[in-house]
Amino acid sequence: MRMFTVDAFTRQPFQGNPAAVCLLDFPADDTWMQSLAAEMNLSETAFVTGLDSGLPYSLRWFTPAVEVALCGHATLATAHVLYSIGAVSGVIEFSTLSGILTVSQGSDNMITMDFPAAPPVSTAPPAGLAEALGAAPVWAGRTRDDLLVELESAYAVQTLTPDIAALREVDARGVIVTARAANDGAGRTGFGGSVAGQSGSEGPHFVSRFFAPSIGVNEDPVTGAAHCALAPYWSAKLGEKDLIGRQLSARGGVVHTSLRGDRVILGGHAVTVMTAELHSTST
């Protein structure tokens, strides 16, 4: 079976968020898929079936430790693979644990994904959160699975050095840390400069990082699913539906967001860095 490693939410190899994509020739056992995800040891490995039976294709995502219900960067990576090898054209439909997700590709090769919005609901910061992060939240909210925490500045987000062991004990699957992008008074520049190759000289509207040690991901390089919460949060604060987010991990990446009612359109680019043949199968 064919496998790929794809860097998502970037135009450059070795940046963005790497995901493994496995094109299954037949349905696979859950235990085998979890074992392969642990073997790949990336934040997510995506498994696609049904390429010969027409839309929608079945898509599932596994971290090295657990299966997850939604993953943006691995969906982007999967679509990029299918478009790149000519397996599909036009709109793709994926059947997932989060329902039917539709994906399309624009003329500039940006891939857009239609995901459910997950607006955070204001909550008191849970016990131990500030100590685990090493920073005081300006605001905290909760989605179904994660906490969203706003800090005072993009610099505070960039320089954050959380206690991962302590963060694992916080009552949440993951913690999204965010702040408004820096503004130099002459236009939006974001933290670390403009979004090169993405939207002219315009920089990001907001920045973020994502930590999920409880599911085996200490820090995710670029997290599409987190932007299902970030988009409605920042759209409400900034009064704009179309925004650009930059995730400030060591690898970094850019996510375009567009809030449309109870849905969020996430956009980004991707690049294939490895193609492989898988010899170990589930039968």
Question: Could you list the active site residues?
Answer: 44
Distances (CA, A) of 100 to 60, 84, 85: 12, 22, 23
Query: Would you say 223 and 249 are in contact if contact means Cβ atoms under 8 Å apart?
Result: no
CA distance 185 to 188: 8
d(CA 254, CA 20): 19
Structure tokens at 251: 């690898």
Pairwise CA distance, residues 72 & 207, whole Å? 17
CA 101 to chain centre: 14
State in Å, rounded, how far the first CA of the chain is from the last one. Answer: 13
In 10 A of CB 248, how many CB atoms?
A: 27
